[in-house]
C-alpha cells in the first residue's frame, strides 16, 4: 500500500473520462492525496479497470462507471451514481471531451452537435447534477485547453469555441455556488503527452515549438494543478483560469 499525502482524506471525487491520459493521471493524483475515486469511460473499459486497480493499490476505493457524456441522462446520471456509490461527493473533475479539429468548411452540423454535446452540454449537466449533491466546500475543476487563450493556426474553430464556453460556465458556477463554499476553476493544458497526442507524434515538433519551454507537458503536470485546486489550500481560489501550457499563451 502506498502512503498518501492526506490532503483529501475522506473525500470522494468523480473524474469524467478518467480511463486514460489526463483523466487517469488526475484520478491517481487525487487518490494519492487520499480521495476515493470514481471514473467514467465510454469504450475503454479495460483501461478504466486498470485505473481502478491502480487507485486501489494506493489504498483507496475506486469504481469505473460507463457513461456517455453525449447522452444528457448519462452525463448527469454518472454524478448521481458516483455519489450513491460512496454516500456523497466532494470533487467533480470535468475532464471528458472531444478533440475534433479540421478546416472550417469540413465540419458538418453533425460534428458541431457531437462536440457541443460532449464538451459543453455534458459538462453543464454534470456540473448541474454535482451542485445538487456536492458537500459544502466542494470543488468543481474543469479541463479546458490552451486554445481558449491562443489559437495558433487554422483548424481549431469548433474545438476552441466549445472549450471557451467552459470559461463562462466556470465563472458563473463560482458565483452560483460560492455561498456554499464550493469553488469552480478551469485548467488549460497545452500540448500534453498522451496516447491521443503523443510527444513523439508527427505533429509534435510544431506544437512543442509553440511553447516557451519548447516541449510537451506530461499528464501528471496537469494533474498536479487539478489536485491543488481540489484540495484545502485552494479554498479561496474560484472562478479562475490556470494555464498549464509551457508558455503556449505567453
Catalytic residue numbers, as ranges:
159
Beta-bridge partner residues of 38: 14, 63
Half-sphere exposure for 214 (CA within 13 Å, toward CB):
0
Whole-angstrom Cα distance, residue 164 to residue 123? Answer: 12
Neighbours of 35 (CB within 10 A): 31
Residue with cell 474545438: 159
Nearest to 139 by CA among 6, 1, 15: 15
Rama region for 6: left / alpha / beta (φ>0; ψ in -120 to 50; rest) = left
Q: Are 41 and 69 in contact (CB under 8 A)?
A: no
Whole-angstrom Cα distance, residue 161 to residue 130? Answer: 24
Half-sphere exposure for 231 (CA within 13 Å, toward CB):
20
Kindly tell me the sign of the dihedral angle through the C-alpha atoms of 214, 220, 226, 227: negative
DSSP codes joined into one string, 163-217: HHHHHHHHHHHHHHHGGGT-EEEEEEE-SEEBTTB-TTSTTHHHHHHTSSSSS-E
Amino acid at each position: 500500500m502506498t502512503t498518501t499525502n492526506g490532503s483529501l482524506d475522506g473525500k470522494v471525487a468523480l473524474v469524467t473520462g478518467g480511463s486514460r491520459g489526463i483523466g487517469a493521471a488526475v484520478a491517481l493524483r487525487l487518490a494519492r492525496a487520499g480521495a476515493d475515486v470514481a471514473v467514467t469511460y465510454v469504450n475503454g473499459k479495460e483501461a478504466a479497470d486498470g485505473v481502478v486497480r491502480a487507485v486501489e493499490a494506493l489504498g483507496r476505493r475506486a469504481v469505473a462507471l460507463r457513461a456517455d457524456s453525449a447522452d444528457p441522462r448519462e452525463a448527469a446520471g454518472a454524478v448521481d451514481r458516483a455519489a450513491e456509490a460512496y454516500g456523497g461527493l466532494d470533487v467533480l473533475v470535468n475532464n471528458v471531451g472531444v478533440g475534433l479539429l479540421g478546416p472550417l468548411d469540413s465540419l458538418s452540423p453533425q460534428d458541431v452537435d457531437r462536440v457541443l454535446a460532449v464538451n459543453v452540454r455534458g459538462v453543464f449537466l454534470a456540473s448541474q447534477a454535482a451542485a445538487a449533491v456536492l458537500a459544502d466546500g466542494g470543488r468543481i475543476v474543469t479541463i479546458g485547453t490552451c486554445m481558449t487563450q491562443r489559437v495558433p493556426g487554422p483548424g481549431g474553430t469548433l474545438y476552441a469555441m466549445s472549450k471557451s464556453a467552459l470559461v463562462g460556465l466556470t465563472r458563473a458556477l463560482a458565483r452560483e455556488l460560492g455561498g456554499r463554499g464550493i469553488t469552480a476553476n478551469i485548467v488549460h493544458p497545452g500540448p500534453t503527452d498522451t496516447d491521443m497526442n503523443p510527444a513523439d507524434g508527427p505533429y509534435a515538433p510544431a506544437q512543442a515549438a509553440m511553447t516557451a519551454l519548447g516541449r510537451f507537458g506530461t499528464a501528471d503536470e496537469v494533474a498536479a494543478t487539478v489536485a491543488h485546486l481540489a484540495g484545502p489550500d485552494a479554498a479561496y481560489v474560484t472562478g479562475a483560469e490556470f494555464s498549464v501550457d509551457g508558455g503556449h499563451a505567453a
